[in-house]
Amino acid sequence: MSAARPFRCDVAIAGGGPVGAALALALHAAGVDVVLLEARDASKAPAPTALRPLALSHGSRLIFERLGVWEAVTALGVTPIERIHVSQRGRFGRALLSAAAAKVPALGYVTDYSSLVAALDAAVRDSGVTVVRGARVTSIAHDEASARVEFVTSAGGGDGVASLVAVADGSAAVSDVEVRTTDYGQSAIIAIVTTDAPHRNLAYERFTPDGPLALLPFGSAYALVWTVRSDLAGDLAAIAPQAFIARLQERFGARVRFTAVDSRAAQHLTLRVAERVDWGRAVLIGNAAQALHPVAGQGFNLGLRDAWELSMEIKRQGAADPALPRAYASRRRIDRGGGIAFTDALIRIFSNDFAPLAVARGAGLALLDALPPAKDFVVRRMIFGSRG
């Protein structure tokens, strides 16, 4: 088999997951010449993937609507979140957030990552965007006006030149950017759990000494994202279903009664943050820029806003503008920094059983629930980010 043909374009996107695909669709619709480099090989049957529930904010829905793909996303299955009950296990204080109070149709929507990928893959295919499948980026070299991208495929090597490279894949070769990592010593147990009563589109964010425990309405059941100490994760993922339900019930409390569990998996949790998102003729977006703790479901939504804001900057300045990478980094500084700080602070403040801090947390939740302007402030930032 021959190597991929060299290309020249306005924007090369390394990573064809949802964030990279969204950027490609936004730019292609604006007449920007785009090449999408995706590591997944369409000629091979997709490998079975574990359940990966994803909470899309209302702000993300608006972006997908502007891209013309929301109808396709909903066709593959989304469950609205109309209310979120926030509390801490065994302590006073709670807050109830609602879509009605925020004057939006839903605070968010829960889907499976693989369904979202399928919807966006189809949209990219139908759009006519140039896609190189099975392409793993190995290097990005810059000069003043462009960047050369080298990659490998099952057919051999390939390369191309672009005015700008957007890196949306956290595994792509980016050696010139320092990455800060924080190991939380936690893992997420992800599963589908059923209960003895309908969820009525109510989600729970329950803080425990080991970490947050989230229940997200998912079809007729709940998607569970249970943060535990990493040394406990293996046993919880493997013990008998009834034993797991008993452990979950003890940790969550009696507000919900669990009846069955399915599709358990464990994922180690690490904060990964690129110290800068611009260098040379390239920018980082999505998981290449930051990978966050799943608490409050902010990571993917932050990455999707990266893609949308970059598309706006490219439409405004043009991909070849030498000032564009720095302008993009400046545009994203507040929202990105706020999202990273917010999720990290939630873990550090709530993942402990220090009594004085627990009292302060409870008072804070009670005060939040009693002050509609404060609640609106929090909800708008969960939906739209720090610029909301």
Those residues with Cβ within 8 angstroms of residue 78's Cβ, 6 or more apart along the chain or in another chain: 56, 109, 110, 111
pLDDT for residue 2 = 40
Q: What is the mean pLDDT of residues 320-347?
A: 93
pLDDT for residue 177 = 84
pLDDT in tens, 161-185: 999 999 998 766 566 788 999 999 9
Q: What is the mean pLDDT of residues 237-265?
A: 94
Residue 322 in tokens: 């030498």
Please tell me the pTM assigned to this model.
Answer: 0.92
- DSSP 8-state class, residue 295: G
> Where do the domains of the chain lie, and which CATH numbers do they carry?
7-68+113-179+272-344 (3.50.50.60), 80-112+183-271 (3.30.9.10)
Check residues 133 and 361 and name the one with the higher pLDDT: 133
**Burial track 312-322 (b if 16+ CB lie within 10 A, e otherwise):** ebbeeeebeee
pLDDT for residue 346 = 83
What percentage of the chain carries pLDDT values higher than 70? 94
Residue 333 in tokens: 């500084």
Q: If pLDDT is split at 50, 70 and 90, which confidence band does 42 have?
A: low
Strands 94-98 and 83-88: antiparallel
pLDDT for residue 92 = 79
Question: Smallest Cα–Cα separation from 24: which of 113, 111, 123?
Answer: 123
Exposure on the CB side of residue 149, measured as CA atoms within 13 A: 35
**Rg, the chain, Cα only:** 21
pLDDT in tens, 138-157: 999 988 899 999 999 888 88
pLDDT for residue 37 = 96
Those residues with Cβ within 8 angstroms of residue 294's Cβ, 6 or more apart along the chain or in another chain: 188, 214, 225, 227, 269
Mean pLDDT of the chain: 90
Q: What is the mean pLDDT of residues 71-89?
A: 93
Among 14-23, 125-134, 206-215, which is the least confidently predicted range? 206-215
pLDDT for residue 1 = 31
pLDDT for residue 61 = 97
Q: If pLDDT is split at 50, 70 and 90, which confidence band does 45 have?
A: very low
pLDDT for residue 269 = 93
pLDDT for residue 91 = 77
pLDDT for residue 333 = 95
Task: Give the count of beta carbons closer than 10 Å to the beta carbon of residue 67.
Answer: 25
Task: Give the count of beta carbons closer than 10 Å to the beta carbon of residue 197.
Answer: 8
CB 181 within 8 A of CB 191: no
pLDDT in tens, 176-235: 788 999 999 999 999 999 999 999 999 999 988 888 999 999 999 999 999 999 999 999
CB 203 within 8 A of CB 215: yes
Q: What one-letter code names the amino acid at 273?
A: V
Residue 224: strand pairing partners: 191, 215
